[in-house]
Amino acid sequence: MKLSARNVFPGRVAEVKRGQTTSIVRIDIGDGKSITASITNDAVDELALKPGDTASAIIKASEVIVGKG
């Protein structure tokens, strides 16, 4: 798979928590780090995601906002 995104983090699916319409997917990227994403249940089904699968977290965003307090 070729992508234009530069922030590609390969790893393994550690957990998939299905909700009513969206799922929380946690990908273990090694070194005790993980990336968590909220994606549609349809996307989980199309990708057939399950714990242990190899997958990549692909991040392409124009900005990230973090706030405290």
| 37: nearest Cα among 58, 21, 51 | 58
Are the C-beta atoms of residues 49 and 55 closer than 8 Å to each other?
A: yes
| 27: nearest Cα among 60, 53, 64, 65 | 53
Question: Three-class SS of residue 36?
Answer: strand
Query: Under CATH, to which class is 7-59 assigned?
Result: mainly beta
CA contacts within 13 A on the Cβ side of 36: 6
For the entire predicted model, the pTM comes to 0.84
- Please tell me the distance from the alpha carbon of residue 15 to that of residue 61, in angstroms, as a whole number: 24
Residues 8-60 have pLDDT tens digits of 999 999 999 999 999 999 999 999 999 999 999 999 999 999 999 999 999 88
